[in-house]
């Protein structure tokens, strides 16, 4: 899992790979308990491309995420 914090149009983004695909969770604030938006993509690459195109999150903004699963 990976996250980007404090960049782009929203406060936090989390990418979580799962058996059915890769979830992209978008949070309006860093302390939001639940995401305001979520997307299911085929791959991590596609999820990151969506995040860059829609929200302005660059590839070098992503860091490892060690929190609990969001699904």
Q: What is the pLDDT of residues 12-31, one digit of tens each?
A: 999 999 999 999 999 999 88
Does the pLDDT value for residue 68 go beyond 90? no
The total number of structural domains in the chain stands at 1
The mean of the pLDDT values for the chain is 94
Averaged pLDDT for residues 46-70:
93
Does the pLDDT value for residue 61 go beyond 90? yes
Asked whether residue 71 is assigned to any structural domain, the reply reads: no
- pTM assigned to the model: 0.92
Asked whether residue 17 is assigned to any structural domain, the reply reads: yes
Buried b (16+ CB within 10 A) or exposed e, 33-43: eebeeebebee
Closest CA to 16 of 51, 52, 53, 41: 41
Asked whether residue 70 is assigned to any structural domain, the reply reads: no
Domain span including residue 52:
2-64
């Amino acid at each position: 899992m990976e996250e980007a914090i404090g960049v782009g149009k929203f406060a936090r983004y989390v990418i979580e790979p799962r058996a059915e695909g890769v979830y992209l969770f978008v949070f309006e604030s860093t302390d939001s308990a639940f995401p305001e938006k979520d997307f299911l993509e085929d791959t991590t690459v596609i999820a990151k491309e969506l995040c860059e195109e829609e929200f302005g999150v660059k590839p070098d903004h992503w860091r490892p995420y060690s929190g609990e699963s969001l699904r």
